[in-house]
Structure 1
Amino acid sequence: MEDTGSTAKAKTTAEDGNQQISDKLLKSTKPLHRFVRNEPRSLGIVVLIFGCAEILMGFQLHMASERTRTSLQIYIPFWQGVLFVVCGNLSIYTGLHPSKKMMTVSLSMYVVSVLGILVSCIFRIHCLSYFRFIRYWSHHEEWATMRMNLLYGIEGMLLTSSLCALVLLIFLIVVARMALKSTNENVQVIVLQGLPPGIPTAAN
């Protein structure tokens, strides 16, 4: 009786071990799980922080009522901040609930955000060159020089954060595109089949 119980217990343990190995193997081969392993939630939190910073600095520029040419002229801090916030939230949600549909939506927003960053970077570089020109010709006026230095620092900081977000979004685009491409291809499935207890094997 004791031998039968120990044998059954050993078989149950072996079956549980095989099931765990099978689950881990299937999860590691699923493209969605490979996307989750690249930590889209952590990157999404960083992009979300960049978006909040853009919106807050946009309010600061708006409250300053600057008549000088800034990125607020075409409302870059607001619409780019909203894009970053949406991309960050989508990355966090997709990391928690991975699915092909959510990954497709996230990929679309990543691409739109990258295009927006390119537009904002071109305009901000133009603004920085304009600030440098104004600062050069108003160097004898202390207040004008201080104001140009402040705007130069704000726009430079926002440009730097946009470039950092651009790198993160490009990485997310590559990872999401590879995962979606893998789901459309034939994925090899490994099936582990075990004989039920009581059926003699060939060795027996």
Structure 2
Amino acid sequence: MEDTGSTAEAKTTAEDGNLQMSDRLLKSTKPLHRFVRMEPRSLGIVILLFGCAEILMGFQLHLAGEHGRTSLDMYAPFWQGVLFVVCGNLSIYTGLHPSKKMVTVSLSMYVVSLLGIFVSGGYRISCLSYFSYMRYRASHRTDPGWAHFRVDLLFGIEGMLFTSSLCVLVLLMVLIVVARLALKSTRTQVILHQSLPPGTHTTSN
């Protein structure tokens, strides 16, 4: 009787080991875990930092009382910074708790932020062109004074914000491609296990 109990316990332990091995195999090949292997948390932290910097620069422009032709006219630093912060937080949360639903939500926010970058980027390009023209006019003056310094300062700020938007654009495109591939690969893997009931013995010829 003791031999039968020990044999059944050994079989149960072996089956549990096989199930754990199968779970590890499924987790390693599941498309969502391929998305996690691309380190969305690290990219999310970078996007989050860019978003915070965007909002802070927007506050600086607002407190400085700049009412000229800047991206503050369309409040781009604020709403774009908020989009970056949301995307960064979603990437961090999805990396910690991967699921198909969270990847879908993150992908939607990535696309919205990408469209926002195109809108703000187009307006910032026009602002940079305007500042270049103003710098050209100020350089031909005998005493440019404060106006020339102000134009240079605004040109540097808008150029920095435009460059940071381009960096986030690249990161978002990488995340969009990875998330789309993770959602596209929805094949379900099935592993069949054949286990004999206790007391069943196989005979060999």
The structure-2 alpha-carbon separation of the partners of 1:8 and 1:76, relative to structure 1 and needing over 3 Å to count, comes to same
Partners of 2:43 and 2:194 lie apart in 1 by: 40
- Deviations for 1:55-110, whole angstroms, at most 9, x for unmatched residues? 00000000111132111011100010011111111111222222222221111111
Partners of 1:34 and 1:4 lie apart in 2 by: 44
2:75 pairs with 1:69: no
The structure-2 alpha-carbon separation of the partners of 1:202 and 1:146, relative to structure 1 and needing over 3 Å to count, comes to farther
Deviation at 1:196, TM superposition (A): 4.9
Shifted more, 65-74 versus 8-17: the winner is 8-17
Partners of 2:175 and 2:102 lie apart in 1 by: 13
Calculate percent identity across the aligned residue pairs: 75
- After superposition, residues 145-184 of structure 1 pair within 5 angstroms as 145-183=148-186
C-alpha root-mean-square deviation of aligned residues, in Å?
A: 2.4
- Deviations for 1:40-64, whole angstroms, at most 9, x for unmatched residues? 1111111111111100000000011
- Deviations for 1:1-30, whole angstroms, at most 9, x for unmatched residues? xx9999788766654543332111111222
Partners of 2:48 and 2:189 lie apart in 1 by: 36
Partners of 2:160 and 2:61 lie apart in 1 by: 13
- After superposition, residues 1-204 of structure 1 pair within 5 angstroms as 14-139=14-139, 140-183=143-186, 186-196=187-197, 198-201=199-202
Q: Is the Cα contact below 8 Å between 2:36 and 2:95 reproduced in 1? A: yes
Secondary structure in structure 2 of the residue aligned to 1:188:
coil
Aligned pair count?
A: 202
TM-score by length of 1: 0.87
Shifted more, 64-73 versus 30-39: the winner is 30-39
Partners of 2:84 and 2:75 lie apart in 1 by: 14
Q: Is the Cα contact below 8 Å between 1:41 and 1:92 reproduced in 2? A: yes
Q: Is the Cα contact below 8 Å between 2:67 and 2:73 reproduced in 1? A: no
Partners of 2:110 and 2:127 lie apart in 1 by: 25
Q: Which runs of 4+ in 1 moved over 6 A?
A: 3-10
Amino acid at match of 1:145: H
Q: Is the Cα contact below 8 Å between 1:26 and 1:189 reproduced in 2? A: no
TM-score by length of 2: 0.86
Q: Is the Cα contact below 8 Å between 2:26 and 2:189 reproduced in 1? A: no
- Structure 2 residue runs of 5 or longer lacking an equivalent are none
